[in-house]
Amino acid sequence: MSHRRGALIVLEGVDRAGKTTQCKKLVQALRKSGRPVEMLRFPDRTTKIGQLISAYLEKNYNLEDHAVHLLFSANRWELEPLLRQKLEQGVSLVVDRYAFSGVAFTSAKPGFSLEWCMNPDVGLPKPDLVLYLQLSPEVAAQRGEFGAERYETSDFQRTVLQRYQHFKKDPSLNWQVIDAAKSIEDVHTEIKTHSEMAIEAVQYQPIAELWK
Ligand code: Z5A
């Protein structure tokens, strides 16, 4: 590659780990240092597919578990051309949840294997860095009550937390565990350091494909 590309940086973690807070701070800090960067989040509730997912999460609409898993993946695939275009233009992307949420949440339901859950997302742009915000259910509970959306119960979130552990062992991923119990500023400093390193490291590398 002769020109610089942007880095794909994903923040993952359980409910109230601080993903949105940290995505926003990271985008601000990278912009301040003159780097082109944009934020995205999944699910993207603004598209037609996203609206269906949103209605499902708000419990206004029921969907079969396999079907909703495929919709979450389709919601990423419909934005894949945009993601690729931005990265190729040199824009780094900070993404609030990605395919790892898809796998962790669906495989926390009975009868779903990790392999089945991963399949629909195989070939998406592979994140150059995944920042996994690790937070115990006890500390998460101190950050306020759960909301009223589907999945927002402590038992389900505990199983999700276990499912996330699978990715730690995947040598193909740049999976960094961040202690999300620290202060917002301390977490931010750590995340910013990892992100700046990733942006430098991948700028002349081709975009890889997830789980391929
Ligand atoms: N889902 C799925 O099933 N399949 C998929 O493929 C995808 C998603 C992509 C989407 O939720 C749901 O869809 C989600 C997974 C599922 N279900 N759940 N649960 P969402 O993305 O719309 O909502 P969320 O990710 O759960 O957001 P959240 O609860 O808001 O969590 P957060 O973004 O990690 O936290 P935050 O908003 O930044 O902070 C939460 C509070 O903690 C807030 O008051 C902060 O001020 C406070 N906070 C943050 N950091 C700190 C620190 N360091 N110390 C103290 N307090 C803090």
**Which H or E element spans position 21?**
helix 19-32
Whether the predicted pLDDT of 98 surpasses 90: yes
Instruction: Measure 137 CA to ligand 1 centroid, in angstroms.
Output: 13
> pTM above 0.80?
yes
Q: Give the residue whose CA is nearest to atom 48 of ligand 1.
A: 18
pLDDT tens per residue across span 31-79: 999 999 999 999 999 999 999 999 999 999 999 999 999 999 999 999 9
Share of the chain above pLDDT 70, in %: 99
**Which H or E element spans position 57?**
helix 48-57
pLDDT tens per residue across span 55-65: 999 999 999 99
pLDDT tens per residue across span 104-117: 999 999 999 999 99
Q: Give the residue whose CA is nearest to atom 49 of ligand 1.
A: 18
Checking ipTM against 0.95, whether it exceeds it is yes
Number of the ligand 1 atom closest to the C-alpha atom of 183 = 53
Number of the ligand 1 atom closest to the C-alpha atom of 53 = 13
Q: Give the residue whose CA is nearest to atom 25 of ligand 1.
A: 15
Instruction: Measure 103 CA to ligand 1 centroid, in angstroms.
Output: 16
Cα separation, 127 vs 122, in Å, equals: 12
Average pLDDT, the chain: 96
Residue at 154: amino acid letter? S
